[in-house]
Amino acid sequence: MARIAWIDDNDATGDLADLYRELKQTSARGNVPDILRTMSLRPDFLRAIDQASRLHFTDGALSRAEHEMIASYVSALNRCHY
């Protein structure tokens, strides 16, 4: 059970339901990652974080794979499963 309250798919309405649909369409797994669900009580913030994340993980000086590798390494150092 999560310690942070969030809104499940079936309970999402309005802007959040629309955002969940968008996130599922663009997700490789077809779901809303739990790390993003933690922001579901603030759909405006969730959308901003999603947009920033997309910008961050686009190819530039580093490829998406390199970004992911660094994020995974830092998560491992912090013993965070995300």
Beta-carbon contacts of residue 60 (< 8 Å; ≥ 6 apart): none
**What's this model's pTM, rounded to 2 decimal places?**
0.71
pLDDT of residue 71: 87
| Banded model confidence at residue 2, pLDDT cuts 50, 70, 90 | low
CA dihedral (46, 49, 51, 54) positive or negative: negative
Annotate the chain with DSSP letters as a single string.
Answer: --SS----GGG--HHHHHHHHHHHHH-TTSS--HHHHTTTT-HHHHHHHHHHHHHHTSSSSS-HHHHHHHHHHHHHHTT---
Tell me the per-residue pLDDT of 42-80, one tens digit each, with 9 for 90 and over. 999 999 999 998 887 777 888 888 988 998 999 999 998
> pLDDT at residue 1 above 80?
no
